[in-house]
Structure 1
């Protein structure tokens, strides 16, 4: 979020400086670990309509943002595939019922396609003979988050933005509006902002990255399961990002043996080619989340604006949050935020 806002403000001619607690690789940030799926219909089963609308907005906006960067970023919009084993058909039926309900609430969402044993391998040949049923959610996408972070850094550097790595800051370190100080401070620190936004909490996630040359999934694939609904996000060169866990915890420690075993066991049931995959990384992170699981904008005072609470939808909704933030800064209007049901908290003045 911080890099996106910094770049757009620099493009408008503002002098921008970025202070980052970690390095350019974004170690320690949920942004580095995320699978970066852009799946508003799939996520509609567990989130609010405003977040879904932000996700739809992002699918249009991301190609525009990526096109302005100095390095290529993998972006794919081949839809999402949802599959399940026979014993989980009841859970799948309930999930598909939620998809249909949310489509009625938001008719601009694309219609899902029910897949039988003949149609499914036509949509995803790699799964031929492995599942008898599934649903296809057209138009959904994903991007490579690590390529994006690197491309943003490269573009910011070329535009002359001062990037201060390994330089943690509090908003109280600045006195905006005074001599020698910035005119405005934007706080996009995620969980780092808990010193001033006590309602923030962490939602732990565990992700595995593997290299699987024998697997050729063409789109993000989700496995319905009563305990660990798995997602598999294929990146370039047979790299796959796999995740499922969502734990109410601020624990940043390594993944548990149980979580990894369940994750990889479920992965193997999707495609046996994952048996020979090489594990590149097992990562954990905590997503910055507010009590209602929705993002928000908050003025600490007239010159300090916080952007936070993107929860598990960071990449899906960040273009919408970016444009809502820019509109608020440029015009003082919160119209776009209102369109997306994003709360804008007034200045906390004495």
Structure 2
């Protein structure tokens, strides 16, 4: 049963906050959104991201539930983007994985792992092994540079910054009341009382650590390069003995390159070591990057829970917390959105069980009349 017309205060205008604001406003609800930053989302982890939608590739470092979330997103993202007034670059041409000869043993181990993971989530397309001829056909720019590769069909990517900007336009169009440079906490609201919102949705990421103490930051470093001499058809990952390098091609020869994952809340500039490793690795993928221009070298910390899995919890009636998206924000955001909407509409979510998503919900009736029944997956 649809949620009765309600009022919402959303805390945090990163990826999750903006998606929820737009979907709830489309359903006819009154929405206020608060953020410590500006519409540019300069404080959001979503701004410093490659926005790859690669469930099988990511299965090497995450659980099957997250992989199923990623598969769900490959259908949901086109639907979500179709409703936006502003265009957002979206591509679903698969993922390519390549390696140098000295890393063949690590590539074999990764191949076995991905094949086993595909069996656990059989709805995913099976990977394809490429010889040098197949690799040259799939990605002509890499012809004769690599002897073998893997092709993961159906995987995709989008432009994170175009999306964040398009969601701001959509919020304006839907009369969402935006409060930029206005940080708020759940304690500032009394949901369900006169003059207060019916629901508070906390999507602050690491900004919520005072209320969700298990959160920690995992630092990532990303380079954005404009390289007119390089043309790649799809995201490409390079097997590396210490960490996999990814190269995500966006529009107009813009490339987002990353790999580093450091257990730290440090938001200082990227280290010389990380910068040298990223740039040398991307040059190894294609020498045309040598003549590219480094547009940005950015760092950000991703909100992460102890098990590296996302979660939704309701600490008190009328307050819902959504957090822990870790490095998979764009890949799992549509699934998290749909589960949150289920919870708001019905007090529970069958989808959460499909995704093995932890829900901690209060049994008390909410201010809007929907009953939040206990649900754990």
- With structure 1 as the length reference, what TM-score do the two structures score? 0.99
Give the whole-Å Cα distance in 1 for the aligned partners of 2:314 and 2:75. 28
After superposition, what is the alpha-carbon deviation per residue over 1:79-124, rounded to whole angstroms, capped at 9, x for unaligned? 0000000000000000010110011112111111111111101000
Quote the Cα distance in structure 2 between the aligned partners of 1:13 and 1:105.
39
CA distance in 2 between partners of 1:286 and 1:348 (Å): 33
- Counterparts of 1:149-164 in structure 2, within 5 Å, are 149-164=164-179
2:302 aligns with 287
What are the Cα deviations for residues 18-39 of structure 1, in whole angstroms up to 9, with x where unaligned?
Answer: 0011000100110000100000
Unpaired segments ≥5 residues, structure 1: none
1:162-201, aligned counterparts within 5 Å? 162-201=177-216
Choose which of 139, 160, 168 in structure 2 pairs with 1:145: 160
Q: Does 1:204 align with 2:248?
A: no
The runs of 4+ residues in structure 1 deviating greater than 2 Å are 346-349
Alpha-carbon distance in structure 1 between the residues aligned to 2:89 and 2:196:
38
What is the CA–CA distance in structure 1 between the aligned matches of 2:22 and 2:111, rounded to whole Å?
39
Q: What secondary structure is seen at the aligned counterpart in 2 of 1:88?
A: helix
Give, in whole Å, the separation in 2 of the partners of 1:256 and 1:51: 30
Give 1:332 shift.
1.0
Aligned partner of 1:226 among 227, 241, 244: 241
5+ residue gaps, structure 2, are 1-15, 365-377
User: 1:300 maps to which residue?
Assistant: 315
Residues 3-152 of structure 1: pairs in structure 2 closer than 5 A: 3-152=18-167
Separation in structure 2 between the aligned mates of residue 282 and residue 348 of structure 1, nearest angstrom: 46
Tell me the residue number matched to 2:329: 314
TM-score, normalized by length of structure 2?
A: 0.92
Q: Partners in 2 of 1:6 and 1:137 — Cα distance?
A: 33
Partner of 2:9: none
Query: Partner of 2:132: helix, strand, or coil?
Result: coil
Q: Where does residue 273 of structure 1 map in the other structure?
A: 288
Where 1:101 maps in the other structure, the secondary structure is helix
Secondary structure in structure 1 of the residue aligned to 2:30: coil
Q: 1:85 and 1:199 mapped to 2: Cα distance? A: 39
Mapping of 1:243-254 within 5 angstroms? 243-254=258-269
Q: Can you list the C-alpha shifts for 1:318-337, whole angstroms capped at 9, x where unaligned? A: 00000000001001122111
Residue 175 of structure 1: CA displacement? 1.1
More deviation in 21-30 or 331-340?
331-340
SS across alignment from 1:16: strand
Partner secondary structure for residue 59 of structure 1: helix
Offset at residue 178 of structure 1 (A): 1.1
